[in-house]
Structure 1
Amino acid sequence: MKILFAASEIYPLIKTGGLADVAGALPIALRKKGHDIKLIMPAYQGMLKKVAPIQKTINLGNPFGVGDLLLLETAIPESNTPILLVQCQALYEREGGPYGDQQGQDFHDNHLRFAALSWVIAQLAINKQWLDWQPDILHLNDWQTGFAAAYLKSWSVAHPPIVTTVHNLRYNGSFDIDQFSDTQLSHELLSMHGMEFYGRFSALKAGLVYADAITTVSPTYAKEILTPEYGDGLDGTLRALQDKLVGILNGVDYDQWSPDKDTLIPHSYNIATRAEKYLNKQALLRENHLSEEMNFPVFGIVSRLTEQKGLDLVLEAMPALLEQGARLVVLGSGDKALETGFLALQDAYPSQVAVRIGYFEDYSHRIQAGIDSLLIPSRFEPCGLTQLYALKYGTLPLVRETGGLADTVFEGGDADNGFVFQEASSHAIKEAMLRCMACFYDQPRWEQKQINAMQTDHSWEAVTGQWEALYQRLL
């Protein structure tokens, strides 16, 4: 199959979250199965230094009055995956991240930036002459590419089947109705059954309503988003569309995230040599000048520091665990109050708590290899990738039972590989952490959990069959 895979961020070119990891790995897994895939994303500032030499440049004109849109044909060097970059200096070559400035404020013209990207995607879906190539399947990801489905709807042309994947429903790409005319979409789409969203217009809703299939990144999240609690205002729309909604769990690239192949950790190990994991624990404690007593568990957090992730619950529960000898290593950034809270905890327990604000890829690998248990107390979690990494490293996840966490981490039973709590409260997470500590001191039980965790296969190869079946069904 020929597949055009559209995303606003793709690892290793640019990454703010799990979308980039998926967009960087699923297409590679599908290419290994023989499918003809092209990626497409914006040419952000500095992007051309990260790709192979440009093979072809196509000028698509100036449809939005902000400068010419250029389509650059190239490849991601590490995997030789074909990628198309949409270049427009006025829209994409800016200081800051893909969606906002250096102060963390969203760009005022994001509706136009991603409408332009989507316009190019939609044109590619129906025009073979540009690349002598036309997709059989158009795969859109999150709100930033959702406008493409709206363009194809408004143009009333035959087009390939559209798959829209929701990585996080909370980010729905809704904008003030006054900005709608900038997109040059038909106002006929602004209905309750179209892309109108509570007096605004939503790119994600367009991607849902005009898709032939909707996927999300875990089976449990696919059920949760049909409810008001998790639906973020789109639950009614999704209930009407649920016959085309399916949850397919994300995979992991084990070439990057596996302790026997990981070049970013001090000591490699595998399921047979898992006892050597303690060398990574020792190195992590030493690196952070923490107490090196090995007979206490080390908890870890690698996360955006936001309310969604439930990390305020950890701040409330943690002192009681620290008093019992536990240690905590934190990597993340986000909510200033949470950043301040974790830094204050570090000040109060300097030999037991280490906090780094920011994100450092190599350090996140050392944490996964060096801690005993990874804390993910999310209030909601579409899939979660860090718990999948943790399992492979024999690091037992401690999670709230929601979304993809509920599909991958289990306490008790044959699949026993971590610790699970239900209620989003500091009391519930503290009880789970105390169970974790008790298990840590019961080494035979802990080791059996580790074996179960490390044996789990969440590789992309294990899930590509589900994607192939979905695409085939649409064709």
Structure 2
Amino acid sequence: MKILFAASEIYPLIKTGGLADVAGALPVALRKKGHDVKLIMPAYQGILEKVAPIQKSINLGNPFGVGDLLLLETHIPENDTPIYLLQCQALYEREDGPYVDKNGLDFEDNHIRFAALSWATATLALHGSLIEWQADVLHLNDWQTGFAAAYLESWKVKHLPVVTTVHNLRYNGSFDMNQFSSTHLSTELLSMHGMEFYGRFSGLKAGLVYADAITTVSPTYAKEILTPEYGDGLDGTLKAIQHKLTGILNGVDYDQWAPEVDSLIPENYSIESLTLKQTNKLALLRENGLSEDLSKPVFGVISRLTEQKGLDLVLQAMPAMLEKGARLVVLGSGDKHLESAYLALQENYPDQVSVRIGYFEDYSHRIQAGIDALLIPSRFEPCGLTQLYALKYGTLPIVRQTGGLADTVFEGTDNANGFVFSKATSEELEAAIERCMTCFDDKEHWQARQINAMRCDHSWEAVTDQWTALYQSLIEDA
């Protein structure tokens, strides 16, 4: 099958979260199965230095009045995946991140920036003659490409099937109505059954309503978003179109995330050489100047520091564990008050707590290899990737039972591979950490749980058959 895959970020070119990991790995896995996948993404500042030399440039004109949109044909050197980069200096070449400025505020023209990406995506999907390659399926991801489904709808022509994947429903890409005219979309789409969203217009809602199939990144999250608690104002819309909705769990690129082959950790290890994980633990403690007592557990956090991720609960539950000799290693950034609170915890326990604000890919690998347990007490979690990485490294996740965490981490069963609690309270989290510490003291029991974790197969190869079946069914129905 020929699949056009559109995303606003793709690893290893640019990454702010899990979307980039998925967009970087799923197309590669599909290509390994023999499918013909091409990517499209904006040419942000610095991206051209990370790709192969440009083979062809196609001028799509100046539909938004901000300068010509150029489609640059190239490929990603690391995996040879073909990619079209949408170049427009006024829209994409900025020193800050892909979505927000240096103050953490959304760019005021994000509606134009991602309408342009969506328009180019829809144009490419409809007019394969532009690149002498006609897609069979268009795969959109999150609100930034959701407008593409609206363009195809507004052009009122027969077009290829469209899949929209929701990585996080909370980010719905909604904008003020006075900005709508600049997208050049038809006002016919502005109904409650279209892309209108509580008096605004939403790129994500467009992607949902006008898609032929909707996927989320885990089966449990697909059920949760039909409820007011998790639906973020879109549960009514999703209930009306739930026949299009399915949950397919994200995979992991084990070429990047496996302790046997990871070049970013001090010592490689496997199930057969699990004791070598201790070398990584000691190295992590030394790197951070923490107490080197290997008989006590080391907990980790690798996350955006937000209340969505339940990181306020960790602050409440952790001091009691630190008093018992535990250590805590934190990597992340987010809400300023949470950043300050974690730095204060580090000040109070300088020999037991290390906090780094920011995100450093190589350091996140060293943490996964060096800690004993990973804390993920999320209030909601569409899929979660850090727990999947942790499992592979024999690092036991402590998770709240929600979304993809509920689908991948188990306790109290023969295949127990972590620790699970149900209510988002510091008391329940503290009880789960207590169970973890008790298990840690029973080395035989702990190692059995580590082996269960490391045997879990969450490779992309394991899930591509589900994607292939979905694409095939859409093509057959078209």
Q: Please tell me the TM-score bracket, short chain as reference.
A: over 0.9
Paired position in structure 2 for 1:401:
401
2:101 paired with 1:101: yes
Paired position in structure 1 for 2:246:
246
Matches within 5 A, 1:289-308: 289-308=289-308
Give the letter aligned to residue 352 of structure 2: Q
Paired position in structure 2 for 1:186:
186
Paired position in structure 1 for 2:464:
464
Write the distance in 2 (CA, Å) between the matches of 1:71 and 1:293. Answer: 56
Give the letter aligned to residue 294 of structure 1: L
Matches within 5 A, 1:139-154: 139-154=139-154
Q: TM-score, normalised by structure 2?
A: 0.99
SS of equivalent residue, structure 2 residue 130: coil
Q: Which moved more, 1:205-214 or 1:126-135?
A: 126-135
Write the distance in 2 (CA, Å) between the matches of 1:228 and 1:285. Answer: 43
Paired position in structure 2 for 1:445:
445
Write the distance in 2 (CA, Å) between the matches of 1:423 and 1:306. Answer: 17
Task: Please state how far the C-alpha of 1:373 moved relative to its aligned partner.
Answer: 0.1
Paired position in structure 2 for 1:126:
126
Paired position in structure 1 for 2:86:
86
Write the distance in 2 (CA, Å) between the matches of 1:463 and 1:124. Answer: 27
2:217 paired with 1:217: yes
SS of equivalent residue, structure 1 residue 221: helix
Q: Which moved more, 1:329-338 or 1:125-134?
A: 125-134
The one-character-per-residue Cα deviations of 1:311-337 (angstroms, maximum 9, x if unpaired) are 000001110000011100000001111
Write the distance in 1 (CA, Å) between the matches of 2:23 and 2:138. Answer: 14
Write the distance in 1 (CA, Å) between the matches of 2:128 and 2:246. Answer: 30
Paired position in structure 2 for 1:428:
428
Paired position in structure 2 for 1:454:
454
Write the distance in 2 (CA, Å) between the matches of 1:415 and 1:177. Answer: 51
The one-character-per-residue Cα deviations of 1:352-376 (angstroms, maximum 9, x if unpaired) are 0000001010000000000000000
Give the letter aligned to residue 456 of structure 1: C
**Runs of 4+ in structure 1 displaced over 4 angstroms?**
none
Paired position in structure 1 for 2:38:
38
Write the distance in 1 (CA, Å) between the matches of 2:94 and 2:67. Answer: 15
Write the distance in 2 (CA, Å) between the matches of 1:240 and 1:31. Answer: 34
Give the letter aligned to residue 337 of structure 1: H
Unmatched 5+ stretches in structure 2: none
Write the distance in 1 (CA, Å) between the matches of 2:381 and 2:306. Answer: 12
Task: Please state how far the C-alpha of 1:129 moved relative to its aligned partner.
Answer: 1.8
The one-character-per-residue Cα deviations of 1:208-243 (angstroms, maximum 9, x if unpaired) are 000000000000000000000000000000000100
Write the distance in 2 (CA, Å) between the matches of 1:233 and 1:198. Answer: 9
Paired position in structure 2 for 1:17:
17
Paired position in structure 2 for 1:172:
172
Task: Please state how far the C-alpha of 1:134 moved relative to its aligned partner.
Answer: 1.1
Paired position in structure 1 for 2:379:
379
Write the distance in 2 (CA, Å) between the matches of 1:365 and 1:120. Answer: 36
Task: Please state how far the C-alpha of 1:275 moved relative to its aligned partner.
Answer: 1.1
Give the letter aligned to residue 340 of structure 2: T
Give the letter aligned to residue 343 of structure 1: L
RMSD (CA atoms): 0.4
The one-character-per-residue Cα deviations of 1:257-277 (angstroms, maximum 9, x if unpaired) are 000000000000001101110
Write the distance in 2 (CA, Å) between the matches of 1:212 and 1:274. Answer: 46
SS of equivalent residue, structure 2 residue 129: coil
What is the aligned-residue identity percentage?
77
2:264 paired with 1:264: yes
The one-character-per-residue Cα deviations of 1:40-67 (angstroms, maximum 9, x if unpaired) are 0000011110100000000011011110
SS of equivalent residue, structure 1 residue 68: coil
Task: Please state how far the C-alpha of 1:430 moved relative to its aligned partner.
Answer: 0.4
Paired position in structure 1 for 2:418:
418
SS of equivalent residue, structure 1 residue 5: strand
Task: Please state how far the C-alpha of 1:128 moved relative to its aligned partner.
Answer: 2.1
Give the letter aligned to residue 26 of structure 1: L
SS of equivalent residue, structure 1 residue 299: strand
Task: Please state how far the C-alpha of 1:414 moved relative to its aligned partner.
Answer: 1.9
Task: Please state how far the C-alpha of 1:137 moved relative to its aligned partner.
Answer: 0.3
Give the letter aligned to residue 264 of structure 1: L
Unmatched 5+ stretches in structure 1: none
Paired position in structure 2 for 1:277:
277
Paired position in structure 2 for 1:61:
61
2:321 paired with 1:321: yes
The one-character-per-residue Cα deviations of 1:9-61 (angstroms, maximum 9, x if unpaired) are 00000000000000000000000011111000000011110100000000011
Write the distance in 2 (CA, Å) between the matches of 1:94 and 1:351. Answer: 40
Write the distance in 1 (CA, Å) between the matches of 2:413 and 2:101. Answer: 48
Give the letter aligned to residue 205 of structure 1: K
2:368 paired with 1:368: yes
Write the distance in 1 (CA, Å) between the matches of 2:181 and 2:134. Answer: 29
Write the distance in 2 (CA, Å) between the matches of 1:143 and 1:91. Answer: 17
Paired position in structure 2 for 1:331:
331
Write the distance in 1 (CA, Å) between the matches of 2:129 and 2:251. Answer: 34
SS of equivalent residue, structure 1 residue 305: coil
Write the distance in 2 (CA, Å) between the matches of 1:295 and 1:60. Answer: 62
Write the distance in 2 (CA, Å) between the matches of 1:325 and 1:53. Answer: 54
Task: Please state how far the C-alpha of 1:95 moved relative to its aligned partner.
Answer: 1.5
Write the distance in 2 (CA, Å) between the matches of 1:280 and 1:58. Answer: 49
Write the distance in 1 (CA, Å) between the matches of 2:116 and 2:350. Answer: 50
SS of equivalent residue, structure 1 residue 140: strand
SS of equivalent residue, structure 1 residue 289: coil
Q: TM-score, normalised by structure 1?
A: 1.00
The one-character-per-residue Cα deviations of 1:420-440 (angstroms, maximum 9, x if unpaired) are 001101111000000000000
Write the distance in 1 (CA, Å) between the matches of 2:419 and 2:129. Answer: 54
SS of equivalent residue, structure 1 residue 308: coil
Q: How many residues align?
A: 475
Task: Please state how far the C-alpha of 1:102 moved relative to its aligned partner.
Answer: 1.2
Write the distance in 2 (CA, Å) between the matches of 1:185 and 1:255. Answer: 42
SS of equivalent residue, structure 1 residue 397: strand
Give the letter aligned to residue 383 of structure 1: C
